Amino acid sequence: MLFGFDISSISAIIGTDQYIAYFHNPHGIVQGAIGSALAAGSVVGALMAGPVSDRIGRRDAIAFGCLWWLAGTAVQVGCNGTGMLIAGRILNGVCVGITSSQVPVYLAEIAKKDKRGSIIVIQQLAIEWGILIMYFAGYGCSFIKGSASFRTAWGIQWIPCVILLLGLPFLPRSPRWLAKVGRLDEAIQTLAMIQADGDLNDPLVVAEWEEITFTMAAEREAGKGWRKFIKNGMWRRTFAGMSVQAWQQLSGANVMTYYVVYIFQMAGLTGNINLISSGVQYALFIVFTTVVFFFIDKTGRRPLLIYGAIGMGICQFVVGGVLGSYGTYLPNGLNGNLSVRIQVSGAPAHTVIAFCYLLVIVYALTLAPVAWVYAAEVWSLETRASGMALASVANWLFNFALGLFVPPAFQNISYKIFIIFGVLCFGAAAQAFLTYPETAGKTLEEIEELFAPGAIKPWKTKVGGSALEAKIEDVRNHGLKSMSFGHGKDETEAVHREVV
C-alpha cells in the first residue's frame, strides 16, 4: 500500500491551486522531474535490493526499505520548494525500489505452486488500494487552504509504512533463502509450516525439499558474479524478467495513473468533476485486479500478457485517433496549463474517457499484475533476489524515462504520444508470444528447465504439467527413511546431504 500511496500522492495534487501556487506552476521538464523522482530513487533502491536481500533475507530487506520511506516522507512534508520535494520523492523511491523487487520474490518463495500467481496478485491489489485511498485522501485535502493541503496528504504516507514495520516480525522467512544461507533446520521447519501445518514428514514437504536441495546444489556449480545472469542459457531468463517489466511501462498505462488529470482535461473535464472522474479509474483497477485473482493460475501468464497488450494497443490508438481527428489545438494551453494543448468535446470527449477507462480495465486484468508475477517466477534460487532487482531496475528506468518524457510530450506532440504507446503495445504482444514460456502450475525449480538450452518452444508450453505430484506420490508409496527425523540440526543436515 505504501507503494500505491506514493504513486497517487502526486496525481491528486498536481491540479490543485495550492500546489500550482506554492511550486510556481510547474510544467514541462520541471513537472516531469517531480513526477519521475520516485522512479529515479526506485532504480537506486532496486540496484541495492539484490545484495541486501541475499545478505539479510527477503523479509528484513523489506524492513530496511521502510526506513528510507520514513525519511523521504519527512522531507516531503517539510519541503520548502521543488528541490526538497524531488529529494523526498527520491528517498521514497529507494524504498519502493527495494520493496517492489523483493516482495514478489518473498511471495513467490513462500507460495504453493498452484497459488503463486494469486498470492502475488494480492500485492498488486494492495498497491491499487493504496492508490485509491491516497488519491481520495489527496482529494479531501485539496479543500484545505494553503500548503497544509499537500503537506497533510503527504504526511498520511507514514501510516502504511508504520503498519508494515510492526507486522513484518510476525511473518516467516523464506525457506528457500534459509536453505541458500545454510540454515537448514529453519528452512525445513518453515517449509513444513507453510505447506503442511508443521508436518515435517508430509509427502509434499519431502518432495519440495528434495527439489530445492537438488536445484540448490546444481546452482552452486554455476558461474559467480554477474556472469551467472548470462551463462548456460541464463540470459533467456534475464531477458524475460527484465523485458516483461519494461513492457509494463512502455504500454503507457501508467501515463493514465500519473497524468489522468491532464488527459481528462483534454476531454473537457475540469475541477472536482475531473478529480472524481480520475479517481474512478483507480476503483476500476481494484475491481478488475480482484477478478484476476480468481483465474490467473488457471488461465496462465502467456494469454494474459499477449492479449492484454493487444487490447491496450487498440485503446491507445482510439484515444490518439479521436484527439487527433476532433481535437482543438490550444497554443497557450488550457487556462495556462501548457501540458494540455488539445481539447475535444461532445461525443469525441466521451469516447476518450470511455477508452481511457477501458485501457485501465484491460491493464488491471493483464499486464499490471501479471508482469510482477512473471518476473518473480523466471529466476533461479541463486539469482532470484538480484534477478528480480534487475527486473525492477528495467521497470523503474522506463518509469523514470516516461515520467520525465510525458509532460513535455503532451506539450510538443500532443495526441501522437498515444499512437506511440499503441505501437509499443503490439511489440510487447509479439515478444510475449515468441519468448515467454508458460510458468503457471509449475514449481519454481521446474520453471528453470523451461529456459534451459534446447527447451520446448515458448508457444508450445501450457499451464500445469508439474512433476511434483508424481514425486509426492512416489514419496507416499516408497518414503524417504531419513525424513523421519526430529527437530535437531544434525538430523536435518543429514537429510539434506542424503537428498543432494
The answer on 295 and 185 residing in a single domain is no
pLDDT at 485: 40
The answer on 418 and 358 residing in a single domain is yes
Residue 462 domain-assigned? no
The answer on 88 and 111 residing in a single domain is yes
Residue 459 domain-assigned? no
Q: Report CA Rg, the chain.
A: 24
Q: Which three cell numbers stand for residue 161?
A: 509504512
Q: What percent of the chain has pLDDT over 90?
A: 25
pLDDT digits (tens, 9 = 90+) for 421-433: 999 999 999 999 9
The answer on 184 and 167 residing in a single domain is no
Strand extents, DSSP E, 369-445: none
Q: Which residue has the higher pLDDT, 47 or 337?
A: 47
Residue 460 domain-assigned? no
Model confidence band, residue 247 (pLDDT cutoffs 50, 70, 90): very high
Quote the crossing angle between the two packed helices 29-56 and 384-412, to the nearest 10°: 180
pLDDT digits (tens, 9 = 90+) for 9-30: 777 777 778 888 888 878 767 8
pLDDT at 400: 81
Find the range with the poorest average confidence among 47-61, 303-317, 378-392.
378-392
The answer on 247 and 378 residing in a single domain is yes
The answer on 422 and 338 residing in a single domain is yes
pTM for the model stands at: 0.77
The answer on 350 and 251 residing in a single domain is yes
CB 49 within 8 A of CB 102: yes
Model confidence band, residue 274 (pLDDT cutoffs 50, 70, 90): low
pLDDT digits (tens, 9 = 90+) for 295-347: 888 888 999 999 999 999 999 999 999 998 998 888 877 777 777 888 888 88
Q: Rounded mean pLDDT of 38-56? A: 89
* Domain membership of residue 382 as a residue range: 2-171+222-446
Residue 320 domain-assigned? yes
Q: Which residue has the higher pLDDT, 375 or 444?
A: 375
Amino acid, res. 106: Y
Q: What are the backbone dihedrals phi and psi of residue 337, each rounded to the nearest 5 degrees, phi first? A: -85, 105
Amino acid, res. 403: G
The answer on 190 and 163 residing in a single domain is no
Residue 154 domain-assigned? yes
Q: What does the mean pLDDT of the chain come to? A: 83
Model confidence band, residue 275 (pLDDT cutoffs 50, 70, 90): low
pLDDT at 268: 81
Q: Which residue has the higher pLDDT, 404 or 34?
A: 34
Q: Rounded mean pLDDT of 425-453? A: 88
Closest to 4 measured CA to CA, from 121, 84, 96, 106: 96
**Alpha-carbon gap, residue 299 to 297, rounded angstroms:** 6
Q: Which helix (H) or strand (E) holds 141?
A: helix 116-141
Report whether pLDDT(100) > 70.
yes
Report whether pLDDT(228) > 90.
no
Model confidence band, residue 222 (pLDDT cutoffs 50, 70, 90): low
| Cβ density class 55-78: b for 16+ within 10 Å, e for less | eebbbbbbbbbbebbbebbbbbbe
Find the range with the poorest average confidence among 175-189, 313-327, 458-472.
458-472
Q: Rounded mean pLDDT of 130-154? A: 87
The answer on 105 and 59 residing in a single domain is yes
pLDDT at 73: 92
Closest to 318 measured CA to CA, from 356, 288, 281: 356
pLDDT digits (tens, 9 = 90+) for 359-374: 999 999 999 889 988 9
**Alpha-carbon gap, residue 444 to 94, rounded angstroms:** 28
Closest to 65 measured CA to CA, from 102, 106, 120: 102
The answer on 359 and 241 residing in a single domain is yes
The answer on 206 and 233 residing in a single domain is no
The answer on 229 and 216 residing in a single domain is no
Model confidence band, residue 499 (pLDDT cutoffs 50, 70, 90): very low
Domain count, the chain: 2
Which domain CATH number covers 290?
Answer: 1.20.1250.20
